[in-house]
Amino acid sequence: MRFLFPSNYFKPQRVDSAYTEQCDRLHKSGFDTSVISLENLSLGASKIYPPPHPDEKLIYRGWMISPDEHSLLVNAVRNTGADLWIDRDEYLSTHYLPNWYPLLQDLTPETYWFNVDADLNRELIKLGWNKFFIKDYVKSLKTSIGSIIKDPSEIGQVVAEMHKFRGTIEGGICVRKVEDFITETEQRYFIINGRAFAASTATKIPDIVKVCASRINSKFFSVDIIDRIDGCQRVVEIGDGQVSGLVGWSVERFTDIWAESFLDIFTLTSDRVLLSSSKTPLLGGVPVGRGG
């Protein structure tokens, strides 16, 4: 097992500085690490340094990548005889909201999703809510107008600003019912091979996290949990573990959970089968149309 990080743009055999600490710490804990140039993926010219051993499983840790980039990454790894531990479908099963939402509908705000060129103003009017939380399949807008609007006519501006600030809309547009969350209570958990870990060993894993771990069929993902003012815990979002940031986590703790999971991975991985979430055809991730 080897961790694969993005390389430094100017020094392709060195790790991207944003990931230096994680890479060093994993290495010191006995894990093999390599780097790959994400910039050269589309040229088919990306080399992995140092090269993995044939048949080795690689865990990517790095920037969010598009479904096409993920396929290119898989190809680059397979060219060495090794393979990625998380394939494209498994990546998208947690990276794209419309893929995980049907499995956790009772635990997370009501959500609908649309093609970016749909008549979004009309769709929002039809929903008839007094507030709308807007994001694409992956991220919300944290600048300018923000991600919560009251007036459906503002949706055009949110989408335009997503294009402007993020360069692209990933997948399509998700419209979520706004709930009264207590922002500062949000916590990230990581699930590795069905086992949940908190940022602190002192934190008891909440039941809602265990439910997510049992319903989502991915070997490595993150779960963000928040308190609502009525005391109910809710899922804010699920993310693929390879590209989830260490929000609220120390690099040391993140490394420790891999050390703890190492034996599980080697004894359980081959027995795992993909459940219903991944059996529904994934469209560049997801089925087009309305969720809810």
Ligand X SMILES: Nc1ncnc2c1ncn2[C@@H]1O[C@H](COP(=O)(O)OP(=O)(O)O)[C@@H](O)[C@H]1O
Taking the complex as a whole, how short is the minimal distance between the CB of residue 273 and ligand X, in angstroms? Answer: 29
Taking the complex as a whole, how short is the minimal distance between the CB of residue 117 and ligand X, in angstroms? Answer: 22
Taking the complex as a whole, how short is the minimal distance between the CB of residue 144 and ligand X, in angstroms? Answer: 14
Nearer to ligand X, 44 or 245 (CB): 245
Query: What's CA 51's distance to the chain center, in Å?
Result: 26
Considering only 40, 66, 140, 233, the residue that binds ligand X (CB under 6 A) is: 140
Instruction: Using CA atoms of 59, 61, 62, 64 in order, give the dihedral in degrees to the nearest 10.
Output: 70
Residue 218-247 contact track with ligand X, rule CB under 6 A, x = bound:
------x-----------xx----------
Taking the complex as a whole, how short is the minimal distance between the CB of residue 180 and ligand X, in angstroms? Answer: 7
104-123: contacts with ligand X (CB under 6 A): 109
Q: How many CA atoms lie within 13 A of 249 on its CB side?
A: 23
Taking the complex as a whole, how short is the minimal distance between the CB of residue 138 and ligand X, in angstroms? Answer: 6
Sequence-ordered list of residues with C-beta below 8 angstroms from that of 171, at least 6 positions apart, any chain: 96, 98, 113, 136, 137, 138, 284, 285, 286
Nearer to ligand X, 157 or 269 (CB): 157
Taking the complex as a whole, how short is the minimal distance between the CB of residue 96 and ligand X, in angstroms? Answer: 11
Query: What's CA 89's distance to the chain center, in Å?
Result: 12
162-191: contacts with ligand X (CB under 6 A): 176-179, 181, 183, 186
Nearer to ligand X, 47 or 139 (CB): 139
Nearer to ligand X, 108 or 261 (CB): 108
Residue 135 in the binding site for ligand X (CB under 6 A): yes
What angle, 0 to 180 degrees and rounded to 10, lies between the N-to-C axes of helices 155-166 and 120-127? 130
Q: Which among 146, 167, 166 has a CA at the least distance from the CA of 157?
A: 146
Residues engaged in binding ligand X (CB under 6 A): 109, 133, 135, 139-140, 176-179, 181, 183, 186, 224, 236-237
